[in-house]
Amino acid sequence: MDVGDHDYLRRIFPHFVAWKEQYGGPFLFWLGTQPRICISDYDSVKQILSNKYGHFVKNDAHPAILSMIGKGLVLVDGKDWVRHRRVLTPAFSMDKLKMMTETITSCAECLIKEWEDQASNSKNKETEVEFSKQFQELTADVICRTAFGSGCKEGKEVFHAQKQLQAIAIATLLNMQLPGFKYLPTKMNRCKWMLEKKLKNMVMQIIRSRIASEGNGYGDDLLGVMLDACYPTEQGKKRDELTLNLSVDEIIDECKTFFFAGHETTSHLLTWTMFLLSVYPEWQDRLREEVLRECGKENPNADMLSKLKTMTMVLLETLRLYSPVMFMYRKPITNIQLGRLQLPGGTTLVIPIPMLHRDKEVWGDDADQFDPLRFQNGVTKAAKIPHALMGFSIGPRSCIGQSFAILEAKSVMAMILRKFSFTLSPKYIHAPADMITLQPKFGLPILLRALEA
C-alpha cells in the first residue's frame, strides 16, 4: 500500500467490506458450522458493550490464545470478572501510575543511548532501527519492571515463550476445532504443551520469588496487589469482605494476561505512531516543539506528560486509524433482541473496530485520513457520537490499563522526539497485517538522525 493510504480494510478483511457493500449491516456469515453476525453500527455496539446485567459475555477463546494469555481479566465473565476487576483496580490508580513514570523513562533511556551511539558512529550521523521489534522488547521490559518487579532475564523468557505461542495461535486460528483434537500428541500440540508448561513455570518462579522476599507486605505493584488478595497479610484480612481471594492459578493467568496485553498493544501503538509521524513530518515537528517546551532537556515526569495535549491527540488518532485490537467478540447468554434482530443465545457477534473507526457518517468525510485535530476538544467530541473511539473498548469492560498505555506511549515518544528526527527507511513496505494484533507485516525500519544537543 502507499504510505499515505490508511484504509487497509480491503487488505485485512476484504470479505467483510464486500459483504457490507452487498448486504448492508448487520450481516450473517458462517465460520465452519458456527453462524456469526457482524455488527457495524454504533447503537448496537453500545448496547452490547455497555450492558451492565451480563446479557452479553465474551466468546470462547481459541485454545492457543487461552494458553498464551490465560483466563485472566480479558476472558473471565460474570462474578469472576467482578472479583478480578475489584482486586486489580487499585494497581492502576493514578498515584501509582505517576510513580511508574520514572521506571518507564529509565527503560527507554537505555535503548535511546544505544541509538545515539549507533548514530554518532556513522558517517552521516544517522542509524536505521527496526522499531517494531525494538518497541516490543522495550514494552516487555517496562511491564516486567512496573507490574511484576522482575528483571530483564525473567521478563525476556516470558516474552519469548508468549511470542512462540502467538505464532502457533496465528498458524492455527482458522483451523476447525475437531472434538478431542487438542488432546492428540501432534507436533504442534506437543510444542504448545511444552511452551505452556514453560510459561507457567516461569511465572510461578516470579511469584515464588516475591513471596519469599515478603517484608511488611508483597509490594504495591500489580503482582503485590494480587498476592495480597491470595495470601492476605494481617492488615489485608481487615479489608472489605467483597474483595474475595484470588487463587494461585488465577494469579498465574492474570500474570500471563498482563505480560501479553501490557506490552503487545502498547508496542504497536508506539510503532504506528512512529510510522505516522514519519509520514507526516509537520506533526513530528509540532510534537517535538511541545515536548521541548514542556519537558526541556529533562526526562519527562507525570506532571510534564499531562501537559502534552498535542501528543494525546496524535496518540488517539493513531488508535483510531491503527487500533492494535481489530475485533471484539461477544455472545448473548439467552435469546435477546438487539435493535431489530432477534438473537438466539450463544450466537457469536463480531465487532470490527477498524470498520467502525472509518464510518464517515460518524467521523466525517475525512475518516480515512490522519487528522489529530479532530481530538482537540477531547475524545467525546471527536465524532458525532461520544463513544465513537473503540481503541480501549467502552462500557464497564473497557481496558483497565488504558491510562498506563497512554502514559507509557507519551513517555517513550517524548524521549525519542527530544533526541532524534526520523523518516521512513527506503526498505519499509506498508503492509498492515492481522497477526492477532495489527502489525506492520515486514516490520518498521526507520532512519534516526540525532539532533544537535
> How many Å apart are CA 269 and CA 319, to the nearest integer?
7
Amino acid identity, residue 438? L
> How many Å apart are CA 40 and CA 43, to the nearest integer?
9
Which grid cell sits at 420? Answer: 532524534
Distance of CA 311 to the CA centre of its chain: 18
Which grid cell sits at 160? Answer: 519469548
**Cα angle value 290/296/301 (rounded, 5°):** 90
The answer to whether the annotation marks 110 as part of a ligand binding site is: no
On whether the CB atoms of residues 384 and 367 are closer than 8 A, the answer is: no
* Inter-residue long-range contacts of 15-21, CB under 8 Å, 24+ positions, other chains counted: 16/352, 16/355, 17/355, 20/355
> How many Å apart are CA 256 and CA 162, to the nearest integer?
8
Which grid cell sits at 341? Answer: 434482530
Nearest to 426 by CA among 270, 285, 278, 277: 278
Which grid cell sits at 281? Answer: 513530518
Helices and strands in the chain: count of H runs, count of E runs = 17, 12
> How many Å apart are CA 305 and CA 98, to the nearest integer?
10
What is the DSSP code (8-state) at residue 214?
-
On whether the CB atoms of residues 420 and 115 are closer than 8 A, the answer is: yes
Q: Are strands 327-332 and 56-58 parallel, antiparallel or unpaired?
A: antiparallel
Q: Are strands 34-38 and 348-352 parallel, antiparallel or unpaired?
A: parallel
Amino acid identity, residue 390? M
What are the residues facing 432 on neighbouring strands?
440
> How many Å apart are CA 370 and CA 320, to the nearest integer?
9
* Residue 278: partners with Cβ closer than 8 Å, 6 or more residues away: 284, 422, 423, 424, 446
> How many Å apart are CA 389 and CA 292, to the nearest integer?
29
Q: Is 273 exposed, middle or buried (0-12, 13-18, 19+ CB in 10 A)?
A: buried
Binding residues: 399
Give the annotated binding-site residues for heme: 399
